[in-house]
């Protein structure tokens, strides 16, 4: 079965520090990859997604992620975090197979705390 692993459960950074959150998935075939963010008290929102093409994808709020197929990884990065980036971040995959389009498989989540 497909699974997603996020390496860090809780990350604490100071403002202006750089961020990298790790995500690995286990599935040998084609996958669609996503990062979602859940700000305190708010809905899950899509940060960015990768389907195909350029493995470096840019999302909202200055976030980007790089898909490395050989490492089954999709790490999230931001060069300089802000206090407002404090949130929980989830990596997710969908396997583009018939009937699987509505099933996101999530990692455990990484809680990011940014100190002002």
Q: Based on the shown chain and the rule CB under 8 A, indicate whether residue 26 belongs to the binding site for other proteins.
A: no
Q: Based on the shown chain and the rule CB under 8 A, indicate whether residue 46 belongs to the binding site for other proteins.
A: yes
Q: Based on the shown chain and the rule CB under 8 A, indicate whether residue 101 belongs to the binding site for other proteins.
A: yes
Q: Based on the shown chain and the rule CB under 8 A, indicate whether residue 27 belongs to the binding site for other proteins.
A: no
d(CA 93, CA 99): 14
Residue among 67, 93, 61 at smallest CA distance from 79? 61
- The answer for residues whose C-beta is within 8 angstroms of residue 99's C-beta and 6 or more apart is none
Choices 54-62, 66-74, 79-87, 92-100; region in contact with other proteins by CB under 8 A: 92-100
3-class state of residue 81 by DSSP: coil
Q: Which residues bind other proteins (CB under 8 A)?
A: 32, 42-46, 49, 51, 90, 92, 94, 96-109
């Amino acid at each position: 079965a497909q699974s997603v692993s996020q390496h860090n459960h809780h990350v604490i950074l100071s403002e202006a520090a750089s961020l990298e959150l790790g995500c690995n998935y286990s599935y040998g075939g084609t996958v669609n990859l996503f990062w979602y963010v859940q700000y305190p008290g708010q809905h899950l929102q899509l940060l960015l997604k990768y389907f195909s093409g350029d493995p470096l994808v840019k999302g909202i709020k200055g976030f980007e992620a790089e898909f490395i197929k050989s490492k089954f990884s999709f790490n999230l990065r931001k060069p300089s975090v802000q206090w407002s980036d404090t949130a929980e971040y989830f990596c997710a995959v969908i396997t583009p197979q018939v009937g699987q389009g509505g099933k996101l498989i999530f990692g455990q989540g990484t809680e990011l705390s940014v100190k002002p």
